[in-house]
Amino acid sequence: MKKFITLTSVLFAVLAMPAHAQFAKPEDAVKYRKASFTVMGAHFGRLGAMAGGKAPYDAKQAAENADVIAAVAKLPWAAFGEGTDKGDTRAKPEIWTESAKFKDAVDKNQAELAKVVAAAKTGNLDALKAAMGPAGASCKACHDSFRKD
């Protein structure tokens, strides 16, 4: 029990830190968010291939990909701290100059991805197909507004 309390205390302390405090340098945050997006995109793409008929539908694989998306989809957002607008990034300045709009886009994306995760876990291809379109649209909208080509 003592280990659990200690681990919980550490976890809460880390989560309570400002996002920029989790990274030694802004470049580390950029690498972290890029890696998070890469992993999320790979698993979302696998679900998209199943939903679009480009890959055979496999309910077990869909659920496994959904589990990865559910975990990874929360990660990149803390890595948009101060100073992470420079260097090897495709992030547009609007992320910081229009932060309320960016937060709304992130919130919408998170809601749509949650629907994909739920649909993938039903084992129903039609449910997955229905959830993928709006989720893909929310990704595209954010990319169009906040990511350089």
Is 75 part of any domain? Answer: yes
- Indicate the pLDDT class of residue 21, thresholds 50, 70 and 90: low
Domain hosting 109: range is 26-146
Is 33 part of any domain? Answer: yes
- Indicate the pLDDT class of residue 126, thresholds 50, 70 and 90: very high
| CATH number for the domain harbouring residue 58 | 1.20.120.10
**Which whole-number Å values give the CA distances from 141 to 21, 41, 56, 106, in the listed order?**
29, 15, 28, 10
Is 111 part of any domain? Answer: yes
The pTM (predicted TM-score) of the whole model is: 0.82
Other C-beta atoms closer than 10 Å to the C-beta of 82 total 11
Q: What is the pLDDT of residues 59-99, one digit of tens each?
A: 999 999 999 999 999 999 999 999 999 999 999 999 999 99
